[in-house]
């Protein structure tokens, strides 16, 4: 797996966020039985930075906690059976599947951890994990879809011992 992390803002956490991001991503890949090596980009941005991206791409002029930009379209969420049919899904130099970009607001990690009464580590892990499921094609537009994502996220966080 290639994980590229770009820090576009100054921040500090009391945990190794690069290591945690990698562990969470690997756990998601394993749970979903993703059959390929992957390439993922993680951008850590400010409140202003994510608001600008949210306004530009979603036409919502407000900050958010995390944005996901999948590079692969799936006929069914979590169905990876036809990925090889589209060569554009893979980096021609490395052969890795191009899953997409995760844009995470470090300010929101801190704010939401305080609001929800859990650690910044838990909030960071949750947001990375949530975004990974979007990169696998899952969404939460219906109650049923939301429950599927939530169950998967809770299972992984529980297995990792990252609890509320």
pLDDT (tens digit per residue) in 31-49: 999 999 999 999 999 999 9
Share of the chain above pLDDT 90, in %: 92
The predicted structure's pLDDT at residue 3: 98
Q: What pTM value is reported for the model?
A: 0.95
pLDDT at 85: 73
In this predicted structure, the answer to whether residue 120 has a pLDDT above a threshold of 80 is: yes
**Looking at beta carbons, which pairs linking 85-91 to residues 24 or more positions away fall under 8 Å?**
90/36, 91/39
Q: How far apart are CA 125 and CA 158, in angstroms?
A: 11
> What integer pLDDT is reported at residue 164 of this predicted model?
79
């Amino acid at each position: 797996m290639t994980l590229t992390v770009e820090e576009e803002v100054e921040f500090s956490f009391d945990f190794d966020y690069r290591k945690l991001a990698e562990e969470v991503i690997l756990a998601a890949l394993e749970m979903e039985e993703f059959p390929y090596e992957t390439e993922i980009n993680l951008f850590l941005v400010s409140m202003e930075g994510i608001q600008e991206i949210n306004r530009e791409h979603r036409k919502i002029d407000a900050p958010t906690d995390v944005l996901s930009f999948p590079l692969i379209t799936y006929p069914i969420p979590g169905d990876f059976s036809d990925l090889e049919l589209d060569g554009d899904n893979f980096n021609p130099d490395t052969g890795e599947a191009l899953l997409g970009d995760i844009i995470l607001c470090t300010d929101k990690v801190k704010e939401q951890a305080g609001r929800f009464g859990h650690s910044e580590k838990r909030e960071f892990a949750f947001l990375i994990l949530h975004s990974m499921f979007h990169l696998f094609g899952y969404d939460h537009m219906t109650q049923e879809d939301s429950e599927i994502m939530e169950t998967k996220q809770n299972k992984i966080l529980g297995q990792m011992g990252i609890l509320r």
